[in-house]
Chain A
Amino acid sequence: MHTIRANKHIWRKVKNVLVSATTFLSAILVIAPLALVFFHLLINGAGSVNWAFFTQLPKPVGVVGGGMANAIVGSLELLALGSVVGVPIGVLGGVYLAEYGSARANSILRFIADVLNGVPSITWGVVVYGLVVLRFKGFSAYAGGLALGLIMIPLILRTTEEVILLVPNGYREAALALGIARWKTIVHVVMKTASKGIITGILLALARIGGETAPLLFTAFGNRFWNHNLGEPIAALPLQVFTYAISPYDDWHRQAWAGALVLVVGIFCINVLVRILTRERKPAVV
C-alpha cells in the first residue's frame, strides 16, 4: 500500500515538472523571434544610426552617406494627416456606438468595423489611389494621410466604444439626474472619465499605422527631397526602408537597417508610453 501511494506521488511530481517545462519552452519560443529581430536590428543598424542619419537628406544614387531626415519628418506629417481623418471620425463613431443608436444597427456597424480592421492595408492604398490619386493626377501627402486615416478609423472606433462602455452607468445617471443635457453628460462626464482609454486607443492606432508601408506605396509614393507642399509626394520612413532594402547598394542596405531600427524603437516607445498611461489609472470608485 505504502509503495503504491509513493509511486503515485512521484508520478504526479514528474507530471508537474513536465508541464512546467513545456510551458516555459513555449514562452521562450514566443519571445525568441522578438529577441532575435531586435538583436539583429541592433547589430546591423546601431552602427549606422548617427547624427547624419537624422539630419541629412538622401544623397544621390551611388553616393555614400546621407540620411533619412525627410523620411522621418514625412512619417510624422503623414501621422498627423492621418490623425486629422482618423481621430475625429473614430472617436465620434465610437461615442455613437456606445451611447446612441439601436441595438440592431449598432451590431451591424460593429461587424463592419471589425471586418474593416481585418482588411489588408494595401487595399486601403488601392482605394485611395483610385479615388484621390487618379482624380487629382498625382501622388500626395494628402492621399497618404487619407489612406492611413482610413485604417485608423475602425481601430479607434472600436477601442473608443469599448472604453466608453466601461464607464459605469452610475455616472451617467448622476449627471442626468442633475438636469445636465445628454450631450453635455457624454462630453463632460463620460468622455472625460474615459479620456485615458481613448488616448490609449489613439496611441495604439498611431503605433499601428506608423509602420505601415503598403498603403503608402501608391499614395504618398515617397520623395528623395523635402516635401514643401502637401499636395506633392512625400517620403516616409517605412517606404524609404523598403526602397533601400531592395536596392543593390550596400550603403543603402546599411541605412535601411538603421531606418528599421529607428522605426522599431519609435513604436516601442509609443507602447511604453501607453503602458505608463494605463498603469497610472487607479480604479475609479471602490
Chain B
Amino acid sequence: MVAPKHILGTFDEALASLRNNVLMMAGLAERTLDRSIKGLLQRDDNLCVTAIADDEEIDQLEKQIDKDGVEVLLRFQPVASDLRRVVSAMKLSPNIERIADQATNIARRARKLNKHPPLPEIELIVPIQAHAMAMFKDSIDAFAREDVDLGRAVVARDKDLDLMNKRASRRLTDRMAEDPKQLRGYLNLIFISRCLERVGDHATNIAEDAVYAAAAEDIRHQTAAVST
C-alpha cells in the first residue's frame, strides 16, 4: 500500500522503526524455532544451545517495541490506520516472544531426548512443526504486507494443527502403554507437540492483529462453539 508520506518526517521514521523491530523480532523467533526443531530432528545439541541463547535478544526486542510504541502514541497521537498499526505492533510482540519461548522449551526437551537412543515416533513431529512454522511465517507476512485474506487463512488453519496435535498425543500415549521403558522420551515428545500447537495459537493471534491493523476488523473469537 503506497500511502503518501506524513508531513512530519519523524513520524514516518518512528513508524518504520517500530515495524522493522517487529519484523526483526519475528525473524529471530523463526530462526530460534527452526534451530530447535533441527536440533531435535538431527539430534544436534549445539543447535539447541544456540536456540536457547537467542531468546535473550528476543525478550529485549519485546520491551523495546512496547517502549517505542508508547512513545509514538505519546508524541504523535496517531489516528486511523497509523493508530491501528501501532496498537497491533504492541499486541503482536508478546505473541512473538512466546513463540520464541515455546521454541526454547522445545530445544530444552530436545537436549534431553538426544541423550537417549532415537525414537521412531519422532517422525510424528515433522508435519506438525511444518504446519506450525508455516502458520507463523504467514501470520508475519500478513502483518508485513497488510494482507487480510492471508490473515484469515492462517486463523482457519489452526483447527488442523489442533487436530494433528491431538492425533499425535493419542499415538504417543498408546506407545507409552506399550513400551513403558521409554516413558520419559514419549512424554517429552508429547510436550514438544503441545509446544508446537501453542505456536500455532500465537500465530493465530498475530494473524488476527494483522487483520485489525489492515482492515479495522476484529476477527477474534469468531469460531462458533466447536468443541476441541
The reply to whether A and B meet directly (CB within 8 Å) is no
